[in-house]
Amino acid sequence: MADLPRVTIHDVAIVAGVAVSSVSRVFSNHPSVSPSMRLRVEAAVKKIGYQPDLVAQSLRTGTTRTVGLMVRDFSNFFYGEMTKAMVSSMSEAGYNLLIMNSPGDAEGDSKMIEMFAQKRVDALFLATASDKSEVIRKSINAFKNPVVLLDRDFSHLVAGRVFADHATGLQSATKDLIALGHRNIALVTGTAGIRPTRERCKGFNDAFKESKIKNGVAAPITGIPSTSNARAKTKELMNLPKSKRPTAMITGGVDVTIGVLECLSEMELTPGQDLSLVAGDDLPWLRVLRPRISTVSRDYQLFGLTAADLMLSLLSGEKPKTITLPTRYEARDTSRPV
């Protein structure tokens, strides 16, 4: 436990018999350093095992080579895949990721962002709990380094944005179900406070408008944040009198999908038979389920990769832009005629 004193650039200077500034130059590949100097310094470094202190470097240079990442739920498969891709890309470029859980409320998110600022991160990846909150918007605005929003759409905010085109996928799915004769379709999804939900609702509603059917029941059910919530809501829907019960369901988000499936399986209802079902997000294990569930899918890792690329471009001084990634509706065994 004896805290042996740290080996500093000073020690290297002494051992090599040169000035600290020269040692520093060697490390930063400064143009004007003689070969002999480089050799002496490198020998000394090897001899005493010096490693630069990144904290001191940060204080001096004002850059930490650390980027903050805040999401709501790391155990969510989408965020897991995304994080994995981001960590790889960013670390290749010499950046580390500092992670925080979004507390789930605006005040909390705001505090987190300020925390990141105090840690002096060079940039921020953000999937905030809401993208309509003025408090959050303010703290993002106060943060003077690059920001990339992950499927969040604050207005009047200079930031990079990566979007998934949920609307188009959802619209295709809904149109297909309508074409199959469904009139009462339930879209069960998360809070309207964030973009993905709003986009899903939009695609859903647009499909109904477009097809001009009468008696269509297109009431998106939002505010279902968790697996257990989704399970309960599904039960409620399935227990409705037959005339009011939806003949098809569309889920929004991975948690909701699991909850809906859990409920159906509890109630011994078979999707594709007792009702039609479209999962609003793809999951690897959906492939082993029988019947095969229709999905609106997209590439999660690509999302992370794209966000990282965008971030690196911002970090190198380019202008923020918005990139929208496609989603694709895949009809499988559970898109059936009424």
Residues within the interface to DNA (CB under 7 A): 5-6, 8-10, 17-22, 24-25, 27-28, 31-34, 36-37, 50-53, 56-57, 59-62
User: Can you say how many angstroms the Cα of residue 190 is from the centroid of all Cα atoms in its chain?
Assistant: 15
Residue 9's binding partner among DNA, a copy of itself, none (Cβ under 5 to 8 angstroms by kind) is DNA
**Which of 28, 265, 273, 322 contacts a copy of itself by CB under 8 A?**
265
Taking CB under 8 A as the binding criterion, the range among 70-78, 192-200, 207-215, 216-224 that sits at the site for a copy of itself is 70-78
Residue 187 sits at φ, ψ, to 5 deg, of -95, 115
Q: Over the chain, what HEC string results? A: CCCCCCCCHHHHHHHHCCCHHHHHHHHCCCCCCCHHHHHHHHHHHHHHCCCCCHHHHHHHHCCCCEEEEEECCCCCHHHHHHHHHHHHHHHHCCCEEEEEECCCCHHHHHHHHHHHHHCCCCEEEECCCCCCCHHHHHHHHHCCCCEEEECCCCCCCCCEEEEECHHHHHHHHHHHHHHCCCCEEEEECCCCCCHHHHHHHHHHHHHHHHHCCCCCECCCECCCCCHHHHHHHHHHHHCCCCCCCCCEEEECCHHHHHHHHHHHHHCCCCECCCEEEEECCCCHHHHHCCCCCEEEECCHHHHHHHHHHHHHHHHCCCCCCEEEECCEEECCCCCCCC
Is residue 213 at the binding interface for a copy of itself, with CB under 8 A as the rule?
Answer: no
- Provide the angle, in degrees to the nearest 10, between the axes of the packed helices 300-315 and 77-92: 40
Residue 179's binding partner among DNA, a copy of itself, none (Cβ under 5 to 8 angstroms by kind) is none
Is residue 84 at the binding interface for a copy of itself, with CB under 8 A as the rule?
Answer: yes
Shortest Cβ 319–DNA spacing (Å): 25
**Which of 29, 118, 243, 316 contacts a copy of itself by CB under 8 A?**
118
Residue 331's binding partner among a copy of itself, DNA, none (Cβ under 5 to 8 angstroms by kind) is none
Is residue 75 at the binding interface for a copy of itself, with CB under 8 A as the rule?
Answer: yes
Kindly state the number of chain residues that form the binding site for a copy of itself, as judged by CB under 8 A: 51
Nearer to a copy of itself, 199 or 255 (CB): 255
Residue 157's binding partner among DNA, a copy of itself, none (Cβ under 5 to 8 angstroms by kind) is none
**Which of 29, 46, 55, 156 contacts a copy of itself by CB under 8 A?**
55
Residue 32's binding partner among DNA, a copy of itself, none (Cβ under 5 to 8 angstroms by kind) is DNA
Return the closest-CA partner of residue 71 out of 121, 136, 130, 129.
129
For residue 225, what are the contacts with CB-CB under 8 A and spacing of at least 6? 190, 191, 255
Nearer to a copy of itself, 250 or 261 (CB): 261
Is residue 5 at the binding interface for a copy of itself, with CB under 8 A as the rule?
Answer: no
- Report whether the peptide linkage leading into residue 337 is cis, meaning its omega lies within 30 degrees of zero: no
Q: What is the dihedral of CA 159, 299, 73, 283, to 10 degrees?
A: 160
Is residue 284 at the binding interface for a copy of itself, with CB under 8 A as the rule?
Answer: yes
**Which of 30, 47, 119, 321 contacts a copy of itself by CB under 8 A?**
119
**Which of 48, 93, 100, 323 contacts a copy of itself by CB under 8 A?**
100
Is residue 48 at the binding interface for a copy of itself, with CB under 8 A as the rule?
Answer: no
Nearer to DNA, 20 or 269 (CB): 20
Nearer to a copy of itself, 51 or 239 (CB): 51
Nearer to DNA, 36 or 316 (CB): 36
Is residue 285 at the binding interface for a copy of itself, with CB under 8 A as the rule?
Answer: yes
Residues contributing to the site for a copy of itself (CB under 8 A)? 3, 51-56, 58-59, 64, 66, 73-77, 79-81, 83-84, 87-88, 91, 96-101, 114-115, 117-120, 144, 227, 258, 261-262, 264-265, 283-285, 287-290, 300
